[in-house]
Copies of this chain bind each other. A is one copy, B any other.
Amino acid sequence: MKEVKIALFGCGNIGTGVYKLIRNNCIKIMDAEGVSIVIKKILVRDLSKKRYADIDESLFTNKIEDILLDKEIDIVAEFIGGESPAKEYILKALNHKKTVVTANKEVIAKHFEALQEAARQNEVGLYYEASVGGGMPIIRAIHQSLQANRIQSVMGIINGTTNYILSKMAEEGREFEDVLSEAKELGYAEPDPTADIEGYDARYKLSILATLCFNKRVQINNILCEGITKITSVDIQYARELGYGVKLLAIAKDTQNSIEVRVHPTFIPINHPLYAVRDAFNAVYIKGDSVGELMFYGRGAGDMPTGSAIVSDIITASTNKHHYVKLVATPDEEIFEDNWLTEYYIRLSVFDKPGVLSKIAGIFAKYNVSITSVLQKARGDVTAPLIFVTHEAHEKAVLSAINEIKKCEYVNSVENLIRVEK
């Protein structure tokens, strides 16, 4: 029986969950994997804070050196979260020849090369299954199950908070601010929800997924990022009439000649597998050239799903003879396409005069943007909603057309602009 000693960096909800999972499953893990995992030390900032009562108090330390200099400790699992000091602690651990397991999407997304290089130089492992999609084994699938594929695209619902909000808006006909307030009260949204609702959290995760799927470094500043704050119940209602749902999607496509990476609210058809992903669930939909379409679905957050992924990484790291370190090329900036082809939903408020449809259709035609559907809705006193869905068109052509439409005398305002994926 091999005994592997590990340390935890942090002991909040996830750290406590990991502690419980290792304790509760230790016999099963020994039987199946032939390894006994022993938690030797736990780094915390405040030694006086009350912790989960079952944890032996002698495990706690507030000095990282107690762990770094302990030669018996092979693996460190980090759950501090955020960029700093987590990044420095992870680097220190790698440089002290400890394998690192982390759920820290921000640190992995921002410092991928530095961390992988440190792992390689120190001949230790770096595992981060829990950084994307909670308990869904998406990272391991990309590494270990799709090697015979060129991955062509990834589309994911990888932020649970925004999916919860959009699901509630759709199912209960409520507005964004209303659902967000409730989500904060229920603990589904953070007191400061910016990272979720503006798409930053999804952008970190997409940076990691795209980098691994395409074997090319995709930085967060390569990724277009739009949040869900401008989505209204009216848009969701029109989406349904047109046969779509609205999701915050993280999208990455690699044509070999160009890469497009973007996080934004998106219309998807009701028969798409991602449409059925409701509440706080996550899903990642991948297309590979041999496997075809593949989707992973599960709880993208929460102590226990995240803990499940972390403990799986710890076991894998404990039993692996050889750690897999991913070194990817940094592509030229030019490979990142920003004038992608996409369909668009466009909602206008127009003045209710004869000739308005012909005028606006003329502007779209001028920019070579052709139209799939038009919805003309019941007029108000002076203005009326007018909704277009375009055929596939270049992003910049659509934006130029919209710019001209904004200035058109028939148009009161451009109310919303949402991309469509199929």
Contact = CB atoms under 8 A, between A and B. Distances in A.
* Most chain B beta carbons < 10 A, residue from A22, A145, A277, A298: A145
A361 interface: no
Contacts of A146: 137, 308, 312
Contact of A292 (B294, B305, B311, B316): B305
Interface residues of A, number: 55
A273 interface: yes
A47 interface: no
A114 to B, nearest CB: 21
Copies, count: 2
Interface string A294-333: 1111110010110111011001100101100000000000
A379 interface: no
Contacts of A291: 134-135, 298-299, 304-305, 308-309
A24 to B, nearest CB: 8
A33 interface: yes
A360 interface: no
A136 interface: yes
Given A25-B147, A135-B288, 10 more contacts: A29-B147, A129-B145, A137-B141, A144-B316, A147-B312, A292-B298, A292-B299, A295-B298, A319-B322, A321-B322
Contact of A140 (B140, B290, B311): B140
A28 interface: yes
Contact of A295 (B21, B134, B296, B316): B296
A312 B136 CA distance: 19
Contact of A275 (B276, B281, B296, B305): B276
A143 to B, nearest CB: 9
Interface in A88-114: none
A32 interface: yes
A307 B148 CA distance: 8
Contact of A315 (B147, B275, B311): B147
Interface in A11-65: 17, 21-22, 25, 28-29, 32-33
A103 to B, nearest CB: 14
Contacts of A304: 289-292
Closest 10 CB pairs of A and B: A137-B145, A135-B291, A148-B311, A276-B276, A295-B297, A291-B308, A294-B298, A290-B308, A321-B321, A290-B304
10 contacts: A28-B147, A29-B148, A136-B294, A137-B140, A145-B312, A146-B308, A290-B305, A290-B307, A291-B305, A294-B297
Contacts of A273: 276-277, 281, 297
Contacts of A33: 147
A312 B278 CA distance: 31
- Of residues A25, A28, A140, A294, which shows the largest number of chain B Cβ atoms within 10 Å of its Cβ? A294
B288 A278 contact: no
